[in-house]
Amino acid sequence: MALLHAVLSITFRVDQIISGTVVNILAVGLTGYLNRQLFATGAPPGLSVLPSIPFGPLSDLPWIGPIIFQQKPIALTAILLVVVVHVALFRTRWGLRTRAVGEHPLAADTVGVNVNALRYYNVVLGGAFAGMAGAYFTLESVPHFEPLMTNGRGFIAVRADHRRRRWRGRPRHAAGRRRYPLCPQLNRQFSKRAAHPSPNYQWCKLAAS
């Protein structure tokens, strides 16, 4: 599904909101069809859900204990991925190039980054994360599959992407002054156009890396 979304939105340049909606509807229909074909009397129940990972006394801590230290493997992995992905996006070369191919692909292509290949890789990687979230329902929530068990949660991600694309106003000039002092001429541009930074901004970051 992630690869289909990548082909539609990257190769054929379909709007990501439309592509994401199509993929969600297709997933609902495909899983329902396969469930009827493979399991005529319904999907067989699993033996049990995955057990929680014991953390000893840490599980009994107030507030934090139930949230972090009483989770099953997939849920705990999701919590850890929040930190891992944040560090990867803002502290690694892959993260810098990922942000560059999204914000200014021409600048990334100028310094030799394969824009489409990296976009495909990241969309498929995001699909793997979404697949892990789907596996949570049958491996940790309930021990069997049911049609429509996600209850439209995939559309929440589509809506979140829509809101992110509409959001404007994050200032970038401060980061430019602090992290890239070798580009003072760009910093002056950022001060005047904080909401719409110069296209050279990402080029400067890539060159600095």
Which range in 42-46, 124-128, 167-171 is most confidently predicted, on average pLDDT?
Answer: 124-128
108 with 178, same domain? no
- Tens of pLDDT, residue by residue over 74-114, are 999 999 999 999 999 999 999 999 999 998 999 999 999 99
Q: Number of structural domains, the chain? A: 3
Question: Which residues 6+ apart lie within 8 Å of 46 measured at CB?
Answer: 138, 139, 143, 144
Q: Which residue range is the domain that position 83 belongs to? A: 46-143
Helical segments of 92-180, H only: 93-103, 105-110, 115-136, 153-166, 173-179
Residues 58, 106 within the same domain: yes
- On whether both 158 and 205 belong to a single domain, the answer is no
d(CA 167, CA 163): 6
Residues 70 and 136 in one domain: yes
Residues 134 and 70 in one domain: yes
- Are 154 and 132 in the same domain? no
| Number of Cα atoms under 13 Å in the Cβ half of residue 133 | 14
122 and 80 housed in the same domain: yes
* Other beta carbons less than 10 A from residue 197's beta carbon: 20
pTM: 0.71
Q: Are residues 52 and 125 in the same domain?
A: yes
Same structural domain, 50 and 137: yes
pLDDT tens digits for range 5-57 = 999 999 999 988 889 889 988 988 898 888 888 876 655 655 678 888 889 89
| CA of residue 189 relative to chain centroid, distance | 31
| Span 181-197, average pLDDT | 43
Is the model's pLDDT at 202 over the cut of 80? no
Tell me, yes or no, whether 40 and 50 share the same domain: no
Q: Alpha-carbon distance 147 to 30, whole Å?
A: 10
Please indicate, yes or no, whether residues 12 and 69 belong to a single structural domain of this protein. no
Is 73 in contact with 50 (CB distance < 8 Å)? yes
Shared domain for 195 and 160, answered yes or no, is no
